[in-house]
Structure 1
Amino acid sequence: LGAGDYALLRELGRGLCGTVYLARERATGNIVAFKVMRKSKLVDVGEAKHASEERRLHERVSRGPFINRLLASFQDAHALFLVLEYAPCGDLFQAMNFHGLPSRNDAVIFTIQVATALEHLHGLGYVYRDLKPENILLHGHGSVQLADFGMAKALRPGERSFTICGTAQYMSPEVLLHRGCYFEADLWAVGIFIYELVTGDTPFSSISGSRQDLYRRLMSHDPDHMVFPSSIDKKTSSVVKGLLQNEEHRRLGACGKMTELYKHPWFDAVDVCAVQRGSATPRLQP
């Protein structure tokens, strides 16, 4: 395969190092997302090695559950090309802005799908580090897909990553406070994700926006004294508190035991295994 095997239809998005197009594979007629990364630009911004590593990582995790598939990759003298599964309904952030907040059951289903994808990454030795609704793609049949693995990192057993990256409102205390993160940093992000699904905001969004203010808020964070909107029931507040524990080992699902997260009563209304099989899907199907 090469770039000439795809007909570009329209631009879907543009970033610092590349552009994503809606494209059609000429031989099959299949619609795909076609990402073009100019090598000269990658070199200019010092991202050439990182782009290559991201491609290899995505290739390795691609066939996992609820993960956006990398269908093909190739290059020529001028650019790197990634052929990705196309998600016709955009991302979860867009869907929430257009359709409003998901129902309680839909929020539970989305969380199970995302946590299942993260569990797959963790099992292969990768911490994701960039969970947020913008990185969760939606398909018409209701399932979500984790996308954009630019922040993901391979960790050896016991190794920690000390790079500060990702979206500040989703960063765990150990990341922001330079203590290094392990897989449990993604569990903290799941707690923020649930809070955003049910309220439309993140728990630390009232901060002025500076990272220093975020540091101060996290330094004094006590999950047992979190204040929730009156519309949030006790099961929801409890699961969020269980994930937003300052001590990593105390977070629900910590130490590779994601099944412990699903035992929380917040998940009782949904058949977790049915969601993981794909036979239970959310009602929100844009």
Structure 2
Amino acid sequence: MAESRTSRAKSIGHYVLMKTIGEGTFGKVKLGTHILTGERVAVKVLEKERIQELADVERVAREIHILKLIRRCRHIIQLYEIIETPRQLYLIMEYAPGGELFDYIVEHGRAEEKDACRFLHQILAGVERVHQTNVVHRDMKPENLLLDERECIKIVDFGLSNTFQDEQLLQTACGSPCYAAPEMIAGNQYFPPMVDVWSCGVILFALVCGFLPFEDQNHAELYKKILNAEYEVPNFISKDVVNLIAGMLTTDPEKRMTLVDIRNHKWYRQIPEASLKDREDDSLDEAILDQLDSYGFPREYAIKCLQSNKHNHVTTTYYLIKENQLRSEDAGLAAKRTIADIDATCFEDFAAYASPAVAVAMVATPSRGSRAGEESASKPGEDGCAMPEACQTSRSKAGAGPSPRGGRNGHSRSTGPPASGARRPAERSGAWASPRPRGGYSCDRVGGPPRRRPNSTDPAPFARRLCSPWGTSRGGYSATSGELLDSEYEVSPPPDKINSARDRYSSPRPASYGVPPAAWRLGVQKARHCDEVSYNISQAPRQVMQEVTRALSSHGISFQQISSYVVRCQSQGVRFQAEIMQADQGGEFLLRFRKASGDVRSYKDLCARLLTSMNL
């Protein structure tokens, strides 16, 4: 029986793969268990065949590079290890089971001010560490803030981030429109840290109010509100938080509050510092080194890997044990998890690996892909540190065991606080549903399942108000000027034709696409990759989308429906997107094709053939 279980178990390297907790453009995210320690991790499985465009390659490489730079910060999601096979990249990352801050706001309606203050402490601690590493996030929003089991903040999704030098100005506008700083909207050069401060101000407003400060279905009006900092404050929040928000949402970046100013503000100081202490101590824990040695990793080898900031199985094991200790200290708990503590309901076959002898044998075995015979390019001892012979021979001493194989200003003006008892959060298919990938856990992020409130009928205001004119605020944009980012587009589905919050958010959210400032309806469109073919439609949007997919299939064009009203298509080197959108608030609907890459003439010929064959 044990042998049968082992043969069925899916694993990669030194991790047992469990259920899928998210899915995105590049692949899936699975809940995993580190075999030696029993600690849970998030395993982002990136399919190489899906990462073909140069912009996608750049995005993945940028995020990995930045996550490697930022280590030991307890409010930033950690990248532990990278395992490569001929077909996949496996990113072993920290697991945050509490879901997104977005889901928290949706469930609660809004946060109590002391809770919002605690969240702000932790958000700023993470942002400060990011800036100290000369990195700017540029996509700060509640969907990119995850919660651990104790509702502590973890910043994720560095796909739009970039490095900068002291006093250097950047020009690429990117992120999500409702959270974007006015200097980005205007297309000006900007001082990187200040755009993150603005986004944090929007997040704070959403936390205490339950809705966003800047929203409008009209493109130009939305950006006008952001450029002028036009927002309305409800009367149920304190004057102190209103004052702090005003300082963070100052349009002039030179007059905008800095992180130091925010920390010295009266409202911020109403509670003791709530951010978790970072792992600043460079001294290594001797007890953990002894534990690693007992697992077959010689002390000298482990020290060398840790001191050189390697991301391999040795350092992963060390930091998982260390993180467990810190959690126990924070919670005042003495007990530590072991392999036997794993929840069998998540993965019943894990019992096949519970033998310590088998576990130790497995860590001395080269990492393997999810298919038999598919050996990983990332073996123990790789990443710059040669595995000592003693560690390689520990397998025979420990006893033979099975080698692991297998294979997310239009708002309510009510004068009272939003009541949360009669609301239901926007339901989605998983906590990771963001293709850039986004969501609670998507192939670009890591998070737990969204919270749900039973016996409620109406979606929360925050969930209803997260749309932006040309793309959902849960999406992103990037106006390329000197930096290589995505060269596609995102458009929200017709808002008036969506029956419920569940209907809107249960599908995977569309990817983040590049939209230059000129395409923000602030002037004449001059953006590259902006070739469009539009067609007025009179039928119901869902009916039209069914006709679009039928026509694509009949012409042999490969496509992927990434939301109810957005389809990505590719044919003979031409990549484009078909989408249904509302021309203006309360106006007619359009079927629009947008070219992402490829020959213009071939693209227009494809559009003409498709439109001719559709019954519109």
* Normalised TM-score (structure 1): 0.88
Contact 1:162/1:175 (<8 A) preserved: yes
The code of the aligned residue for 1:268 comes to: R
1:191 aligned partner:
201
The code of the aligned residue for 1:199 comes to: C
CA distance in 2: counterparts of 1:16 and 1:91, whole angstroms? 19
Structure 2 unmatched runs, 5+: 1-10, 279-328, 332-450, 452-616
Q: SS at 1:198's partner residue?
A: helix
Contact 1:91/1:136 (<8 A) preserved: yes
Q: SS at 1:34's partner residue?
A: strand
2:88 aligned partner:
79
Contact 2:118/2:275 (<8 A) preserved: yes
CA distance in 1: counterparts of 2:131 and 2:21, whole angstroms? 30
1:118 aligned partner:
127
Q: Does residue 1:140 correspond to 2:149, yes or no?
A: yes
Match of 1:245 among 236, 247, 250: 250
Match of 1:49 among 41, 45, 58: 58
CA distance in 2: counterparts of 1:219 and 1:103, whole angstroms? 29
CA distance in 1: counterparts of 2:74 and 2:35, whole angstroms? 28
Deviation at residue 197 of structure 1 after TM alignment: 0.1
Alignment of 1:84-95 (within 5 A): 84-95=93-104
RMSD: 2.2
Residues 45, 7 of structure 1: alpha-carbon distance in 2 compared, 3 angstrom cutoff = farther
Q: SS at 2:106's partner residue?
A: helix
* Normalised TM-score (structure 2): 0.42
Contact 2:137/2:196 (<8 A) preserved: yes
- Residue by residue, what CA displacement relative to the aligned partner does 1:87-106 show, whole Å, maximum 9, x if unpaired? 11111111222233221111
1:221 aligned partner:
229
- Residue by residue, what CA displacement relative to the aligned partner does 1:235-267 show, whole Å, maximum 9, x if unpaired? 1110000001111121111xxxx2221111111
Contact 1:170/1:192 (<8 A) preserved: yes
1:236 aligned partner:
241
Deviation at residue 122 of structure 1 after TM alignment: 0.5
Q: Does residue 1:269 correspond to 2:270, yes or no?
A: yes
- Residue by residue, what CA displacement relative to the aligned partner does 1:18-59 show, whole Å, maximum 9, x if unpaired? 321111223333211000111121114741132122101111
Contact 2:13/2:83 (<8 A) preserved: no
CA distance in 2: counterparts of 1:63 and 1:16, whole angstroms? 29
Identity of aligned residues (%): 27
The code of the aligned residue for 1:277 comes to: K
CA distance in 1: counterparts of 2:275 and 2:33, whole angstroms? 31
1:9 aligned partner:
18
Deviation at residue 146 of structure 1 after TM alignment: 0.7
Larger RCO: 1 or 2 (CA < 8 Å, sep 6+): 2
Contact 1:67/1:147 (<8 A) preserved: yes
Q: SS at 1:23's partner residue?
A: strand
Match of 2:41 among 26, 32, 36: 32
Q: Does residue 1:202 correspond to 2:215, yes or no?
A: no
CA distance in 2: counterparts of 1:237 and 1:277, whole angstroms? 28
- Residue by residue, what CA displacement relative to the aligned partner does 1:52-99 show, whole Å, maximum 9, x if unpaired? 221011111132231111111121221221111111111111122223
Determine which structure has more spread, i.e. the larger CA radius of gyration: 2
The code of the aligned residue for 2:275 comes to: V
CA distance in 1: counterparts of 2:260 and 2:118, whole angstroms? 15
Deviation at residue 165 of structure 1 after TM alignment: 1.4
- Residue by residue, what CA displacement relative to the aligned partner does 1:129-181 show, whole Å, maximum 9, x if unpaired? 11111111111223111111111110112222222211110000011111023
- Residue by residue, what CA displacement relative to the aligned partner does 1:168-200 show, whole Å, maximum 9, x if unpaired? 100000111110232100000111011000111
Structure 1 unmatched runs, 5+: none
Alignment of 1:107-186 (within 5 A): 107-181=116-190, 182-186=192-196
CA distance in 1: counterparts of 2:229 and 2:109, whole angstroms? 29
Contact 2:17/2:32 (<8 A) preserved: yes
Contact 2:185/2:223 (<8 A) preserved: yes
Structure with more helix by fraction: 1
- Residue by residue, what CA displacement relative to the aligned partner does 1:186-224 show, whole Å, maximum 9, x if unpaired? 00011101100011111012x1163x33222223336xx
2:319 aligned partner:
none
Deviation at residue 280 of structure 1 after TM alignment: 9.3
Q: In terms of mean alpha carbon deviation, does 62-71 or 113-122 score higher?
A: 62-71
CA distance in 2: counterparts of 1:236 and 1:122, whole angstroms? 24
Residues 40, 130 of structure 1: alpha-carbon distance in 2 compared, 3 angstrom cutoff = same
The code of the aligned residue for 1:126 comes to: V
